[in-house]
Amino acid sequence: MMDEEALKNRRDLLAEIDWDMTPERAVETYLEWGTGWSRKGHAATVPGQESLYFVVYAWEEPPQATLVRRNSQGMEEVAKIPVPDSMVREIVEREGRKPGVGVYALSDDLKQWLQDRLGL
């Protein structure tokens, strides 16, 4: 698993990050038990198709953004970057869920913060 410094040096991976992918859309795209009818062309149709995107696990201490690689075969955690607690709290509050429960998409503020940290 990479840390922030190692990820900064992997320009190939940084170029592949889908900053608009969400955990929900990843399920719809790569898992057959996703919402199916609502995929609207987002379903993975080519062997080897995958996405690289960040998620926030509300239960992690310290708070982190986790870069994951998802395909129809499964998910792999690639890197973890510590993030400001206030940004994670904002995401959880925005979604109206309890702290410590859930997998969340990045907020726009956290996307920008990560892009700045990673030199993008």
Comparing CA positions, the residue from 82, 86, 50 lying closest to residue 66 is: 82
In a domain, residue 43? The reply is no
CB neighbour burial string for 3-25, b if at least 16 within 10 angstroms, e if fewer: eeeebbeeeebbeebeeebbbeb
Please check whether residue 40 lies inside any domain of the structure: no
Model pLDDT, residue 34: 47
Provide the number of structural domains found in the chain.
1
Q: What is the reported pLDDT for 24?
A: 86
Find out whether 33 and 111 touch, Cβ atoms under 8 Å: no
C-beta separation of 59 from 98 below 8 A: no
114 part of a folded domain: yes
Q: What is the pLDDT of residue 48?
A: 65
Low-confidence ranges of the chain (pLDDT < 70): 32-48, 99-100
Would you say residue 103 lies in a domain? Answer: yes
In a domain, residue 45? The reply is no
What is the pTM (predicted TM-score) of this model? 0.85
In a domain, 12, yes or no: yes
Is 41 among the domain residues?
no
Tell me how far CA of residue 61 lies from CA of 23, 44, 65, 70, 73, in angstroms.
Answer: 20, 33, 11, 23, 28
Model pLDDT, residue 40:
52
